[in-house]
Structure 1
Amino acid sequence: MSVTTAVHLNFRGDARAALEFYADVAGGQPVIVTYKDSGAVTDPAEADQVIWGQVRADNGFHVMAFDVPAARPFSRGDASFYVSLRGDSREELTALWEKLSDGGTVVVPFGPSQWAPLYGMVTDRFGITWVLDIAAF
């Protein structure tokens, strides 16, 4: 038996757009189930929002997401989590960096660091902070 992990991202109405963006960034196709699809509509205005979704790419990239309904409390918080993308291909990480940076805010520029040959941190256009690096150890 094996166990894998995936970051599960919570949004308020932006999950579909975020999943489509991440599919464009890393490849793969978004899989999206709406509240309407699952028969779980409590607010008609939220029927087409995402109750469950994911992007899984052949390169190992995997995120899940959903839209927190308005009836539940939601706060993104400040730096409550980072999503780490660690790889061994400079070209692949650079391509991911360029796409995630589009419309985002660079927190730490992408380049060499004391602990990795390539490292950077960016907050994407959806407010998710990503850490990309080549593992040195």
Structure 2
Amino acid sequence: MAISTTTHLNFRGDARSALEFYQTVFGGHLTTIAYGDFGMPKELPDADKIVFGQVTADNGFSIMAYDVPSQAPAAAAPAATTREHGMTLTGERFFVSVRGETAEEVGALWDKLADGADLIEKYGPSQWAPGFGMLTDRFGVTWILDVAAPYAG
């Protein structure tokens, strides 16, 4: 039996923009379905918001997202993620991790994803990987990009 996981992101009105941006970074096929496409009357405020969205690419990248209905209460904002003295300090419940095989391929993804992002740790060689970087993108999602390193244990 094969099992896979896909990160599912929850937005407040900008799921379409985020998914379109992620498609420009990772490539692949974009699917977006609005609440109105599922029968919500077009005159309601959320009718044009995304109820189901995803980007899937041949290289294995996959992400899903939707817009939380406007009637849902907003969660308290987590503390910003920072790196200090080699430690990651955060109040976030998750990060999205992207791992590739070479520093060049991961670096190319980093360059695109970093557009408009807050850099937490600049992409480059680290003690544990040929390439590592951490950022919070323009949509508030924190990403870890790294290069797979052979296990030395």
Match runs of 1:27-66 below 5 Å: 27-40=27-40, 44-66=44-66
TM-score (norm: length of structure 1): 0.93
Output the aligned Cα RMSD: 1.6
- How far residue 75 of structure 1 moved from its aligned partner, in angstroms, is 2.5
Partner of 2:93: 80
Tell me which of the two structures has the higher relative contact order, counting C-alpha pairs closer than 8 angstroms and 6 or more residues apart: 1
For the residues of structure 1 that align with 2:76 and 2:23, how far apart are their CA atoms? 22
User: Structure 2: where are the runs of 5+ without partners?
Assistant: 79-91
Identity of aligned residues (%): 53
Deviates more, 1:100-109 or 1:76-85: 76-85
The whole-number CA distance in structure 2 between the counterparts of 1:68 and 1:40 is: 14
1:121/1:41 CA distance change after superposition, 3 Å: farther
Equivalent of residue 97 in structure 1, options 107, 110, 116: 110
Structure 1 pair 55–86 and aligned structure 2 pair: CA distance change class (3 A): same
1:129 aligned residue = 142
Distance between the aligned counterparts of 1:121 and 1:94, measured in 2? 12
CA deviation after TM superposition for structure 1 residue 115, in Å: 1.3
Secondary structure of the residue aligned to 1:46 is: coil
Q: Give the TM-score of the pair, scaled to structure 2.
A: 0.84
Kindly name which structure, 1 or 2, has the bigger radius of gyration based on alpha carbons: 2
Query: Across the two proteins, how many residue pairs are aligned to each other?
Result: 137
**5+ unaligned residues in a row in structure 1: which ranges?**
none
Distance 1:57 1:134 in 2: 19
User: In 1, are the aligned partners of 2:36 and 2:42 still within 8 Å (CA)?
Assistant: no
